[in-house]
Amino acid sequence: TMKNPVPQAASLLLEKLLLLVHVRPLPAGSGEESSPPAAPGYYDTSCFKRGDLLEVPRTLFVHFGIYLGENRVAHLMPDILPAFTDDRRQIQQVVVTNKRLILGVITRTASIRVDTVEDFAYGGSILVNHMDRLFQDQVLGSEEAARRAEKLVGATAYSLLWNNCEHFVTYCRYGAPVSFQTDKFCETVKMIIRDQRSVLASVLVGLASIVCLGLAPSTTLPTIFIPFFLWMAG
């Protein structure tokens, strides 16, 4: 018998969403709470200074935070919980779970939270002040950067393109909220739209969905309208 492709597609979509927000998916059966990815002291924090900009490369994107000293990092994370409670202690209690994270992306809510270096990095390698070379004379004082981050701790709006973790750290350390990842993503989207081969690709994908799932409005309309809009935009 042929397996239902819907659960597999949903699982793949969840994994891609987690990559977009810079967090590795939790292992299956991990439950609501996630264990710390590394034991305390896994990272040598003696080389970090208060106000440093920390970045952790992920598979597709990079996650950013501001080091506050004493093994603490302020960083912006999508999170649904601030929409239901103002209790900062409750929000801060555990690392954001996959469910909270995905719902935060969908509802565009987030929290700027303070976690240990281990929880922030989640086992990844850490780069320190790697973006300073791009801003040159715009780098603010380390104490000013840390104070800005501390003032912003708490619930905030979230947007993958306009208010993500990179916007947060560049505002704190350089005084201007920008995201080079967002700019690169938008340029890629523009290239895809301008390339008329994307029209043919979308037609083929649409026809394949009709063959696999049958002729229905949910398959036929996208097959017609998506190529049309791509063609017009190009």
Angle at 130 between CA 124 and CA 133, to 5 degrees: 165
Local confidence pLDDT in tens for the 234 residues of the chain: 434 444 454 444 545 444 444 444 443 333 444 444 555 567 888 999 999 999 998 877 889 999 999 999 999 999 887 777 777 777 676 667 778 888 888 899 999 999 999 999 988 999 999 999 988 889 999 999 999 999 999 989 998 888 999 999 999 999 999 998 887 777 776 676 666 676 677 778 778 877 787 777 777 777 776 676 656 655
Distances in Å between the alpha carbon of 2 and those of 5, 6, 30, 212? 9, 12, 29, 12
d(CA 184, CA 193): 14
Phi-psi region of 95 (alpha: psi -120 to 50; beta: other; left: phi over 0): beta
* Beta bridge partners of residue 74, listed in sequence order: 66, 114
Q: Where are the domains of the chain?
A: 52-178, 195-233
Catalytic residue numbers?
A: 165
CA distance 104 to 111: 9
**DSSP run (H or E) holding 61:** none
Sheet hosting strand 127-128, strand order edge to edge: 127-128, 53-57, 62-69, 72-78, 109-116, 154-157
pTM over 0.75: no
Distance CA 150, CA 153 (A): 5
Q: How far is CA 180 from CA 102, 139, 184, in A?
A: 23, 16, 6
CB 126 within 8 A of CB 43: yes
When the candidates are 3.90.550.10, 3.90.1720.10, 1.10.3720.10, 1.10.510.10, the CATH number that belongs to 52-178 is: 3.90.1720.10
CA atoms within 13 A on the CB side of 131: 29
Percentages helix, strand, coil for the chain (3-state, rounded to 5) are: 50, 15, 35
